[in-house]
Amino acid sequence: MDSDTDESGRRKGGRRNPFKQLEQLRARADAVTDGINFAREDDRSLEASRERLSKVLKRYEDLKDRLSRDSDKMIYERLLKDFEAARVAQSEEILLEAEQWNDGLLATIRERVHMEADRKAMGQTGMPLDPHFNEKPSYRIGNKVLFCLEGSRIGIQYETSFAGEPCETFHCVLESKSFLEKLTVIEHTIPFFLPIREAENDFLSSNAMKFIDYVGALLQSYVDRREQVRLIKELYGNQIGELFHSLTYNLIEFVLDDFDW
């Protein structure tokens, strides 16, 4: 009898509660459903982001088209003539090593353009000058060429490249009212979406050499990113369904087409 009672107790104690099992199954189902809902929310959020990005890029392209019309083309053509005239008038192009590009050289260039402007302003074009200042050299430092332009202006020509092949040439013109006053950017052909004004505010008033170098690096980095995207399109265009990028190519997103690897 005792053994029967013990066996019955064990059966009762080992019996599972069906309501508890049901609650556990519901909890598991809710967890799975929450995961699915979360994934769906992620998908919807990603699609919404892509749609917003697509609209922003379209507005950027429209703005870029408007800003690159007649006025910018006129500036580009005029600066092209100014730089070409300076190239024709130059006595030589001096190739500089890294250590030769310094504040002292930049001060010499500034002094040269101001002396020439003052001489012409006083009508002393026939007045003999120090032979050193009568020369009109240009200075090449890496991908930059510095010219002494008319009217106490300093012109910087930025020559970009990709994979050893030349790309666009950009121009930036600096001017100061006197040798002792700070330089300012008066004209340039740098794309409007690159932070040229921020660079001017951050560097030009305190360190013109740093500004010139920074703009050169900024332009070359922009061209590198743009050309890399172009190369990806050429090589893998048949595998890419969608490709989005900002105007500066700092933000790049692409979606691969579904296919068997």
Beta strands 93-95 and 138-141 are parallel
Q: Are 109 and 146 in contact (CB under 8 A)?
A: yes
Looking at residue 67, what is its pLDDT? Answer: 56
Q: Quote the CA–CA distance of 155 and 253 in Å, as a whole number.
A: 37
Tell which residue, 171, 208, 93, has the closest CA to residue 139.
93
Looking at residue 221, what is its pLDDT? Answer: 97
Tell which wins on pLDDT, 75 or 45. 75
Q: Quote the CA–CA distance of 49 and 43 in Å, as a whole number.
A: 10
Indicate the pLDDT class of residue 73, thresholds 50, 70 and 90: confident
How many helices and strands (H and E) does the chain possess? 7, 8
Indicate the pLDDT class of residue 163, thresholds 50, 70 and 90: very high
Indicate the pLDDT class of residue 118, thresholds 50, 70 and 90: confident
> What are the tens digits of pLDDT across the range 235-248?
988 888 788 888 89
> Which residues are 185's β-sheet partners?
174
Residue with tokens 């003539």: 81
Q: What angle do CA 125, 130, 133 make, to 5 degrees?
A: 80
Q: What angle do CA 174, 176, 182 make, to 5 degrees?
A: 95
* pTM recorded for the entire structure: 0.71
Give every CB contact of residue 232 below 8 A, 6+ residues apart in sequence: 240, 243, 254
Q: Quote the CA–CA distance of 224 and 180 in Å, as a whole number.
A: 37
Residue with tokens 């430092």: 141
Looking at residue 119, what is its pLDDT? Answer: 80
The two three-digit tokens of residue 174, written as one number: 């600096």
Weakest mean pLDDT among 44-53, 63-72, 200-209, 218-227: 63-72
Q: Quote the CA–CA distance of 167 and 227 in Å, as a whole number.
A: 9
pLDDT-above-70 percentage for the chain: 69
Residue with tokens 């300012």: 184
